[in-house]
Structure 1
């Protein structure tokens, strides 16, 4: 992974000449302009690796034809970005690795990675490739997965309406902080905070849960209110005071609640893990579910621990 020290943060995106990658590029370019960051456009040649007892692990060098084709794709997409946002500094990088590895190795904790999904329909198709799921699981910085534009509804390039899921965890706190500061860059923006009562309660043992016991409704309502108020108190500051914030508290499944609230939004933001995550999973079940179901761009924040604060 790239060392962040000594360089400015960047928006990093991968291109391959497809319409899906172009959608990700355009979103990334708009985001780079909002942040005042350079845009790093990466094209991966995906050259195979060979392991032998004599030479060890080596990667096949590309032929001149393959390299030239890669350069053409890279420059075409970079020129498209420059035409869209003339004020954005556009950098290019031709990589020999697989796309997920290429983006991981060219981004650091202070960056933002943006990828376009593949195939038709929701973001689920991006995960069938590998870039979306591997990046969201392993990246040290936020990853935005941009879906293929739906017919009659292009991908919104300005996330004025942002939906974010919170459950009281540190990851969801960072997700809310990201959502608020993302909205703060845009005039007349709004953030909808979603908390599901279905999240596990801290005192309920596995035996109680297995027996079908559930806490009283009024307790869940109070707990949800306290969770949302507590997380908002942690992240609110003068830089985001002007953002219009609303709250949705529900007992629906967290994935269903987020996707439903985000159906008409411009961006859904989730933490990579939350209170309900299963230890050892690459991503929490909620973030995976939202990525598989949402039809709008989804931002996944990297997992944080208390020691990283």
Structure 2
């Protein structure tokens, strides 16, 4: 991680002029205003690298037209954020790097990064849809991916219903800890803990089921209940003991379970990797599935995210 160019803590948001990025900006402005943090608005130009065997790689400098267009995007975004949150400290930066690299270079462990789920396309120097996935797999701070804006307005910073997926992994405990402390900071908020116990068995169950065999549902359900209770006991502290918590235990596919439970939520919180993450994936398959399928903002707690401070 490169040395931070901007102070922490802060809320950083990537913008590109798209409707999705505007939704991310509004969410980030609300978050920064509620937490009393500065908002850093970054527009990435994705200028190509010049490679040479004789010199270190350098980036093309943008033309005056490209630079002016980028500054217009930043100025309009900053003005919109200040209109939404009067008194909010807003700073902007025009970056030469691609969106994910630009935000990674300018954030650290104590920050939060917010991006839209889709942009205008890389040809127009936008935040591509995969930017959230790349950020979530490499950032050291929570990454919030905000879907395209619909009719539903930004609810926060009022009471939130936060859905969080747990599976016993370290990353899912971080996600639950994040959700619990966030709910404690937003009076009237609640947390819904989702655990899927749809465990694939290492043998063919079709023939066994035909002969009358059935999976040990009672055993799996008891294990699920113990897992959820155990994880909650690990993260609850003096600040979060009064948070309203409920649990959903299901045999549905983890992605389907989280997307369904979060359909009417204000935020879904997940870890970047879980117990069932496929080897070789930088970001877990469940996390990627939720990012693609969710219709509400998703907060990903990366593997290197700092513990709650």
- TM-score, length-normalised on structure 2? 0.88
- 1:76 Cα offset (Å): 1.4
2:51 match: secondary structure: strand
Moved more, 77-86 or 1-10: 1-10
* Residues 1:170 and 2:163 aligned together: no
2:29 match: secondary structure: helix
* Residues 1:209 and 2:202 aligned together: yes
Q: 8 Å contact 1:176–1:235 — kept in the other structure?
A: yes
In the alignment, which residue of structure 2 is the partner of 1:24? 24
Moved more, 211-220 or 95-104: 211-220
Q: 8 Å contact 2:140–2:304 — kept in the other structure?
A: no
Structure 1 residues 134-179: Cα deviation after superposition (integer angstroms, max 9, x where no partner): 11111111110000112x3234434611100001111110000111
In the alignment, which residue of structure 2 is the partner of 1:74? 74
- 1:56 Cα offset (Å): 4.3
Q: 8 Å contact 1:174–1:271 — kept in the other structure?
A: yes
* Residues 1:57 and 2:57 aligned together: yes
In the alignment, which residue of structure 1 is the partner of 2:188? 188
Q: 8 Å contact 1:149–1:155 — kept in the other structure?
A: no
Q: Using the alignment, how far apart are the partners of 1:51 and 1:6 within structure 2?
A: 28
Q: Using the alignment, how far apart are the partners of 1:23 and 1:255 within structure 2?
A: 23
In the alignment, which residue of structure 2 is the partner of 1:299? 299
In the alignment, which residue of structure 2 is the partner of 1:123? none
Q: Using the alignment, how far apart are the partners of 1:67 and 1:271 within structure 2?
A: 37
Structure 1 residues 187-230: Cα deviation after superposition (integer angstroms, max 9, x where no partner): 21111001111246xxxxxxx61343886111111111111011
In the alignment, which residue of structure 1 is the partner of 2:12? 12
Q: Using the alignment, how far apart are the partners of 1:170 and 1:5 within structure 2?
A: 30
Q: 8 Å contact 1:160–1:186 — kept in the other structure?
A: yes
- TM-score, length-normalised on structure 1? 0.88
In the alignment, which residue of structure 1 is the partner of 2:89? 89
- 1:94 Cα offset (Å): 1.1
In the alignment, which residue of structure 2 is the partner of 1:179? 179
- 1:113 Cα offset (Å): 0.4
Structure 1 residues 19-53: Cα deviation after superposition (integer angstroms, max 9, x where no partner): 11110001001111222211111111211112133
